[in-house]
Amino acid sequence: MNKINKNGVYLKLYKTLKKVLPYHTDFIGVLCGLKPVSRIEIYSDIKDKPAYFFKLFGLWHILKKSPIQKEVTFLFSSKSKKLIIKMIESIIKKDDYMIGKLLGFPDCCLKKFIKESKTKNNFSFTKSHKELYDYIKNNKINIAYNDFFAFNKKYFKYSLIRYMPCSYKCHLTEQYVKKLLFYIKRFNNLFEKDILHQLKLPILYFSDEQIGNYIDRQRNAIIFDGKMNQNKVKYKKIYLCGNPNKIPEINSFNKGDSLVVDKWNITIYSKNKIIKNIKKDNPLQGYLLNFFN
């Protein structure tokens, strides 16, 4: 890596890489030995382009249609061709443990995921959200656990993790993120700054807690490019994460420039005038989260 950096090739590549490899924090993980294999879902229009980069970095890559979802193509990359083949076999066998190991997920998080995905209601993020909600009241939340951007295809380049941590105190997750950020900084310190800025933005999270068996996989939320002060957020721009259909009144959020959230209401303002008041049926349906170091 140093060698590439010194020659200035890395930065040049990075600019093009940004266009062709949406999940490139994952790719950096493989390049730096933090992940044995990277599995990226890609859009059809970039299928042929990555070959050049992988060759330059001395990595293997294989493009393969998902055996489960036909519309998804996976781009696997690794320092070892054998590991990519093992990954494809594990996906076909639905061996979640091996898939997670090959993706470099911590054992504790992986085991919890597998255990929960075998329960009747399938894996649900809801419990974790409740845990997060309770935890945030008494603790400063580490940036390591902000995985909301992973649920927006346009912006997932800002996500440092692509798995659900076993808990908001998971040290292995924290260590992984620290190492990844260290390499990203060496790779391009502007990108590191950009990621840190994005991951510290306030989030309005919509839990589907009350909808019985609904599996809350998508982490429906709005991320505000702005500043949060107690229960008020001033913002310039919004990013939608998860399923936008699960978020009420998106247009009002788009038109607004600030909002106030209390237990039962979300009030949206534009130029200090109320443009919308949304009544909550449940306090968890729209609560503010703020990640910081």
- Residue numbers at the binding site for Zn ion (CB under 5 A): 106, 108-109, 166, 170
Q: Which is nearer to Zn ion, 14 or 163 (CB)?
A: 163
Decide if 210 contacts 280 (C-beta within 8 A).
no
Coil/strand/helix, residue 278:
strand
Q: Which is nearer to Zn ion, 171 or 193 (CB)?
A: 171
Q: Which is nearer to Zn ion, 17 or 166 (CB)?
A: 166
- 32, with CB counted inside 10 A (0-12, 13-18, 19+), is middle
Q: Which is nearer to Zn ion, 170 or 247 (CB)?
A: 170
Q: What is the dihedral of CA 182, 62, 148, 91, to 10 degrees?
A: -120
Smallest Cα–Cα separation from 132: which of 146, 118, 119? 146
Q: In angstroms, how far is CA 194 from the centroid of its own chain?
A: 15
Q: How far is the CB of 30 from Zn ion (least distance, A)?
A: 20
Q: In angstroms, how far is CA 15 from the centroid of its own chain?
A: 21
Give the H or E element holding residue 285.
strand 285-289
Q: What is the distance between the alpha carbons of residues 132 and 254, in angstroms, rounded to a whole number?
A: 26
Q: What is the distance between the alpha carbons of residues 195 and 197, in angstroms, rounded to a whole number?
A: 5
Tokens of 141: 């939340």
Q: How far is the CB of 171 from Zn ion (least distance, A)?
A: 8
Q: How far is the CB of 112 from Zn ion (least distance, A)?
A: 7
Decide if 162 contacts 144 (C-beta within 8 A).
no
Q: How far is the CB of 103 from Zn ion (least distance, A)?
A: 14
- Helices 9-20 and 24-31, axial angle in degrees (round to 10): 140
Q: Which is nearer to Zn ion, 174 or 249 (CB)?
A: 174
Q: Which is nearer to Zn ion, 29 or 106 (CB)?
A: 106
Q: Which is nearer to Zn ion, 109 or 223 (CB)?
A: 109
Q: How far is the CB of 43 from Zn ion (least distance, A)?
A: 31
